[in-house]
């Protein structure tokens, strides 16, 4: 044990004294930290999905159809789930509930039954909808839903008790939905859980757990492994000589392993402790994940707390130590061989660099030159792989040519630092290629992932862009449930700035199914640029300049002919009321139009509809349904951008630390330059060209190329690649480059000041 402690102490001392010891310490620390968090994230994904499934099952309504009618209503709840949304946000469930007797089962998360006309909202829905006064949209606010009633803290959910109650015999909604009779909730309740009755949109929109874990593996764990490999070999020149000395003195493999553990142990232990602390914080409090606005549930994580907080950092610690030991004990061909090496191992770079422009051109223009649907995708993938493989060679070749120019400029102007940097860049392009490969490849993969993610939301993106351009002075109102003519008249009277028309489509025979009838008075028809006929008139199509053109474009009304029928306010309200009572035969939509073209406030109309109608109304602008459904895909795409940016930062750190270690390995050789040049500026200049310049080139050129080859995928503007994402990706790489350049300069200057002539 005494020998083992001494060997560990030798390793610790050696790690502090080598020229790249500080760099390796930081690299091992970051590798352990990121790897520990990455492994814990894999556990967290499983924990969150399992916890959400458990909560959803616990709140799923239970039906008991075998009971008699009188028994069913004795302890039952009327249940009707509908949908609402915030402006440009994902849809959420609004559940209308009403006890059929005082001892009716209460939905999980509710402490008491809300009074008639009251609503209970989830905390995150209240926060997100504060700008739309969501607290008063459905009536008086009776409180918030408890954590046990939500599948996760981020869920948007509302429970509403209608003013007039809710009868299971009353039709409601445009699809003739009828309130269900619920006798309990969850598997503990007696009865049968019915699939499709569970509230919430999470189960319908969540990707599979393995897909999310694949993102964590590819964009967080894999970059951490790359950083670990680079960290294990940082400063290997000095350690290889030490290993050879220990072996010559009779040291065993175990002795060399103990020295390696002593050198890497402190950094790995520090990274493991901090990663465990980060996971522990997530176990104690709900944490909001940056960029995604997602609230990570601490209660879900606690079920797997020991695994995530202890085993994941411990596994990262052991993996780091095992990698370091294996890297130090592996035989080195160059250390014992006597065969001379070639003077240039980078002759292949110019030939490979020639293929890079061809790969980029093929990626940008190739998919449009081949026949769909399979060939464009294959062409895009093949050219993207070619770009990933050839771009580092192209960047290294450009850097080598720039090095020649720098050398000539430095000689002409007497710039020693620039001269050294130029000579090194032109002589060793292979080192530059290895340095920029990971960063440029990660940028391309990130942009491709985000671009392909956007394809699945193309319809919603198109609707969102169209909604910006179209007339916002139009809103559709789909009345829910059976309403009276006086209620419709009262609703219209409280929107005096808008004209109202009614669109109906009969559900009868094939000859009437695609014929839409439009009811309105002369003022409304004139505002819509339509004729005001004395008798019913059939027109071939809807005028494109009309305010309702966009509404027709985004609904089924635009698929058939149009009949125009003049109707006064009384006739219109009677027709709307009768249509709400007979939804099996007829589909109707009440449309509000502002003649002055000013936008209508959809949130205000939603609140007004709940004040007037028993179950409110589905209010929205044309195309809003496609926008809100696509918002789910947009929110999920933020995770790819988040993890991709983290992965790029880790790979940029990997490349920068590798370049910094290589630069510092030559620091002692450069130390006499302080005497020859009369200053220390040469070290800062050399560090800038050795560390900062390659990362800056990889960040800017890599981001530009990545965005360019993603252009065919985003040609329909169906991607989430934005200027902010491009600037963030390039900015992260540049920030890492500047940070490491400053560090390398400082260490090199310190080495130069400590140098003393000793017959070098």
Distance linking the first and last C-alpha atoms of the chain = 41
Least confident of 139-153, 218-232, 409-423, 698-712: 409-423
> Is 394 contained in some domain?
no
Q: Is 484 left (phi over 0), alpha (psi -120 to 50) or beta?
A: beta
Lowest-pLDDT choice from 53-57, 96-100, 564-568, 625-629: 625-629
Angle at 281 between CA 280 and CA 286, to 5 degrees: 125
Q: Is residue 502 part of a domain?
A: yes
Confidence label for 630 from pLDDT (cuts 50, 70 and 90)? low
610 located within any domain: yes
Q: Are 399 and 432 in contact (CB under 8 A)?
A: yes
**Is 369 inside any structural domain?**
no
Q: Are residues 192 and 101 in the same domain?
A: yes
Q: Which residue's structure tokens are 């070749």?
A: 397
pLDDT score recorded for residue 289: 92
- 42 in a structural domain: yes
Interval 477-505: pLDDT, tens:
888 878 888 999 999 999 888 888 888 87
Residues 486 and 603 in one domain: yes
pLDDT one-digit tens code per residue, 255-287: 778 877 888 888 999 999 999 999 989 998 999
Rounded to two decimals, what is the model's pTM? 0.81
* 513, 476: one domain: yes
The pair of three-digit structure tokens given for residue 278, joined into one six-digit string: 């980060």
Least confident of 280-289, 372-381, 415-424, 454-463: 454-463
Q: What is the mean pLDDT of residues 572-590?
A: 76
User: Looking at the structure, do residues 70 and 165 belong to the same domain, yes or no?
Assistant: yes
Query: Which position has the token pair 């070639």?
Result: 342
How many angstroms separate the CA atoms of 226 and 233, rounded?
A: 11
Based on the fold, state whether residues 296 and 168 are members of the same structural domain: no
pLDDT the model gives residue 251: 67
Could you tell me which residues are beta bridge partners of residue 144?
121
Answer yes or no: is 145 within a domain: yes
Q: Nearest 5°: phi and psi at 89?
A: -125, 170
Q: Which residue has the tokens 């240039």?
A: 344
pLDDT at residue 428 greater than cutoff 80? no
* Range from 204-208, 278-282, 535-539, 671-675 carrying the lowest mean pLDDT: 671-675
pLDDT of residue 711: 73
In DSSP terms, 157 is beta-bridged to 93
429 pLDDT above the threshold of 60: yes
Nearest to 89 by CA among 626, 456, 622, 631: 631
Looking at the fold, whether 165 and 240 belong to one and the same domain comes out as: no
Report the range of poorest mean pLDDT among 312-316, 335-339, 663-667: 335-339
Q: Do both 154 and 98 map to the same domain?
A: yes
Task: Give the β-pairing of 91-99 and 118-121.
Answer: unpaired
How many domains would you assign to the chain?
Answer: 3
**The pLDDT value given to residue 271:** 94
Kindly tell me if the per-residue pLDDT of 343 is higher than 50: no
Together in a domain, 216 and 149: no
Residue 456 CB-density burial (10 A; 0-12 exposed, 13-18 middle, 19+ buried): middle
The secondary element (H helix, E strand) that includes residue 523 is helix 522-527
Residues 6+ apart with CB under 8 A from 394: 352, 353, 356, 357
Instruction: Please report which helix (H) or strand (E) contains residue 365, including its range.
Output: helix 348-365
Q: Label each residue of 367-409 as H, E or C.
A: HHCCCCCHHHHHHHHHHHHHHHHHHHHHHHHHHHHHHHHHHHH
- Taking alpha carbons only, the member of 98, 97, 121, 137 closest to residue 619 is 137
Pairing state between β 118-121 and 140-144: parallel
598: pLDDT strictly greater than 70: yes
Same domain, 176 and 210: no
> Within this chain, do residues 145 and 276 fall inside the same structural domain, yes or no?
no
Predicted pLDDT of residue 65: 58
How far, rounded to the nearest angstrom, does the alpha carbon of residue 752 sit from its chain's CA centroid?
A: 46
Tell me: pLDDT of 171 over 50: no
| 704-707 contact pairs (CB < 8 A, 24+) | 705/360, 705/387, 705/391, 705/440, 705/443, 705/444, 706/440, 706/443, 706/444, 706/446, 706/447, 706/448, 707/447
Does the structure show a pLDDT above 70 at 82?
A: yes
Lowest mean pLDDT among 220-229, 616-625, 707-716: 707-716
Q: What is the pLDDT of residue 142?
A: 93
Q: How many CB atoms lie within 10 A of CB 18?
A: 20
CB 570 within 8 A of CB 502: no
pLDDT of residue 505: 77
pLDDT band at residue 515 using 50, 70 and 90 as cut-offs = confident
Whose CA is closest to 494, among 603, 608, 600? 608
| Predicted confidence band of residue 71 (pLDDT cuts 50, 70, 90) | very low
Residue 373: asked if its preceding bond is cis (omega within 30°), the reply is: yes
What string of DSSP letters covers 426-487?
Answer: HH-HHHHHHHHHHHHHHHHHHHHHHHHHHHTTHHHHHHHHHHHHS-SSEEEEEE-S---HHH
One domain for residues 211 and 192: no
Domain boundary among 621, 652, 681: 621
Closest residue by Cα to residue 178 from 166, 162, 186:
166
Mean pLDDT of all residues belonging to the chain? 79
State the residue range of the domain holding 283.
Answer: 1-59+205-332
* Same domain, yes or no: 117 and 162: yes
Between 482 and 468, where is the model more confident? 482
Output the six-digit token pair for 464: 């969102």
% of the chain at pLDDT higher than 90: 20
* pLDDT digit string, tens, across residues 102-116: 678 889 999 999 999
In the chain, how many H helices and how many E strands?
Answer: 30, 20
> Containing H/E element for 79?
strand 77-85
pLDDT for residue 667 is more than 60? no
Q: Is 293 helix (H, G, I), strand (E, B) or coil?
A: coil
Please list the residues that pair with 92 across neighbouring strands. 84
* 543 φψ region: left (φ > 0), alpha (ψ -120 to 50), beta (else): beta
121 phi and psi angles, rounded to 5 deg:
-115, 155
**Both tokens assigned to 720:** 């989430």
**Residue 239: per-residue pLDDT:** 67
Tokens 């004729």 -> residue: 531
Q: Which two tokens stand for residue 152?
A: 């996760």
Confidence at 133, pLDDT banded by 50, 70, 90 = very high
Closest among 104, 80, 97, 186 to 142, alpha carbons compared: 97
In Å, how far are 350, 383, 461, 719 from 725, measured between CA atoms? 32, 23, 17, 11
The helix-helix angle for 416-427 and 374-413 (nearest 10°) equals: 140
Alpha-carbon distance of 301 to 284, in angstroms, equals 9
How far apart are alpha carbons 390 and 93 in whole angstroms? 49
Question: Rounded to the nearest 10 degrees, what angle do helices 312-329 and 21-58 cross at?
Answer: 150
Of residues 682 and 614, the one with the higher pLDDT is: 614
Domain boundary, last residue among 198, 219, 250? 198
- Residue 266 maps to a domain: yes
Radius of gyration of the chain (CA): 34
Per residue in 585-594, is it b (16+ CB within 10 Å) or e — as a string? ebbbbbbbbb
Mind listing the pLDDT tens digit for each residue in 710-736?
877 765 544 567 778 888 889 999 999
Report the interhelical angle of 2-17 vs 253-284 (nearest 10°).
70
Q: Quote the pLDDT of residue 596.
A: 79
> What's the Cα-to-Cα distance from 688 to each of 29, 669, 695, rounded to whole Å?
24, 17, 10
- Contact yes or no for 312/279 (Cβ under 8 A): yes
Helix (H) or strand (E) holding 503: strand 499-506
Q: Where is the domain boundary, 198, 221, 245?
A: 198
Q: What is the largest CA-CA distance in the chain?
A: 111
Within a domain: 429: no
Please state, in angstroms and rounded to a whole number, the distance separating the CA atoms of residues 35 and 755: 38
CB–CB of 275/21 below 8 Å?
A: no
């Amino acid at each position: 044990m005494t020998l083992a402690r001494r060997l560990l102490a030798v390793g610790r001392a050696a790690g502090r004294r080598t020229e790249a010891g500080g760099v390796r310490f930081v690299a091992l620390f970051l590798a352990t930290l990121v790897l520990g968090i990455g492994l814990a994230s894999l556990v967290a994904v499983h924990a969150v999905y399992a916890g959400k499934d458990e909560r959803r099952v616990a709140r799923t309504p239970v039906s008991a159809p075998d009971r008699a009618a009188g028994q069913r209503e004795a302890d039952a709840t009327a249940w009707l789930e509908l949908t609402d949304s915030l402006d440009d946000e994902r849809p959420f469930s609004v559940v209308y509930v009403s006890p059929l007797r005082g001892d009716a089962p209460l939905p999980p998360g509710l402490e008491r039954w809300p009074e008639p006309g009251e609503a209970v909202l989830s905390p995150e829905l209240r926060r997100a909808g504060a700008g739309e006064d969501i607290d008063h949209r459905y009536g008086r606010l009776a409180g918030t839903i408890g954590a046990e009633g939500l599948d996760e803290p981020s869920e948007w959910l509302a429970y509403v008790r209608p003013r007039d109650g809710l009868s299971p015999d009353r039709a409601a909604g445009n699809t003739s939905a009828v309130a269900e009779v619920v006798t309990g909730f969850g598997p503990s309740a007696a009865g049968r859980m019915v699939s499709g009755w569970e509230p919430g949109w999470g189960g319908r929109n969540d990707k599979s757990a393995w897909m999310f874990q694949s993102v964590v593996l590819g964009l967080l764990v894999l970059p951490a492994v790359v950083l670990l490999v680079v960290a294990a070999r940082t400063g290997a020149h000095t350690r290889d000589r030490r290993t050879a000395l220990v072996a010559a003195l009779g040291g065993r493999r175990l002795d060399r392993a103990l020295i390696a553990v002593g050198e890497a142990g402190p950094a790995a232990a520090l990274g493991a402790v901090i990663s465990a602390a980060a996971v522990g914080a997530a176990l104690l409090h709900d944490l909001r994940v940056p960029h995604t606005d997602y609230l990570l549930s601490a209660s879900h994580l606690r079920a797997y707390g020991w695994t995530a907080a202890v085993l994941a950092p411990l596994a990262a610690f052991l993996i780091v130590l095992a990698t370091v030991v294996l890297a130090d004990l592996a035989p080195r061909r160059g250390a014992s061989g006597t065969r001379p090496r070639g003077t240039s191992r980078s002759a292949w770079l110019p030939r490979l660099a020639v293929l890079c422009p061809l790969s980029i051109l093929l990626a940008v223009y190739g998919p449009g030159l081949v026949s769909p649907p399979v060939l464009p995708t294959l062409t895009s993938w093949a050219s993207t792989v070619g770009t990933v493989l050839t771009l580092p060679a192209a960047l290294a070749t450009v850097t080598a040519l720039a090095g020649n120019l720098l050398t000539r400029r430095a000689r002409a102007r007497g710039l020693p630092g620039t001269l050294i940097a130029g000579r090194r860049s032109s002589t060793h392009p292979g080192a530059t290629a290895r340095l920029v490969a990971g960063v440029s490849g990660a940028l391309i993969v990130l942009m491709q992932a985000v671009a392909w993610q956007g394809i699945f939301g193309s319809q919603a993106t198109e609707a969102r862009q169209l909604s910006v351009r179209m007339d916002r002075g139009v809103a559709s109102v789909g009345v829910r449930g059976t309403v009276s003519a006086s209620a419709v008249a009262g609703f219209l009277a409280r929107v005096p700035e808008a004209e109202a028309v009614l669109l109906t489509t009969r559900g009868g025979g094939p000859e009437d199914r695609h014929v839409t009838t439009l009811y309105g008075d002369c003022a409304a028809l004139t505002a819509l640029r339509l004729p005001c006929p004395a008798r019913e008139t059939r027109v071939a199509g809807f005028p494109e300049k009309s305010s309702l053109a966009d509404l027709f474009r985004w609904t089924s009304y635009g698929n058939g002919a149009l009949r125009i029928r003049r109707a006064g306010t009384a006739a219109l309200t009677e027709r709307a009321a009768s249509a709400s009572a007979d939804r099996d035969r007829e589909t109707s939509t009440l449309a509000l139009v502002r003649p002055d073209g000013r936008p209508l406030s959809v949130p205000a109309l939603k609140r007004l509809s709940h004040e007037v109608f028993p179950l409110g109304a589905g209010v929205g602008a044309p195309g809003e349904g496609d926008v809100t459904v696509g918002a789910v895909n947009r929110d999920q795409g933020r995770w790819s951008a988040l993890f991709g940016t983290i992965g790029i930062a880790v790979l940029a750190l990997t490349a920068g630390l590798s370049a910094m270690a290589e630069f510092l390995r030559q620091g002692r050789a450069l130390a006499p330059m302080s005497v020859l040049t009369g200053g220390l500026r040469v070290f800062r200049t050399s560090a800038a060209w050795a560390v900062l310049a390659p990362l800056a080139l990889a960040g800017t050129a890599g981001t530009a190329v990545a965005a360019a080859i993603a252009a065919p995928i985003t040609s329909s503007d169906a991607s989430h690649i934005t200027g902010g994402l491009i600037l963030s990706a390039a900015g992260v790489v540049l920030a890492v480059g500047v940070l490491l350049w400053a560090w390398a300069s400082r260490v090199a200057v310190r080495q130069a000041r400590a140098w003393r002539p000793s017959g070098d």
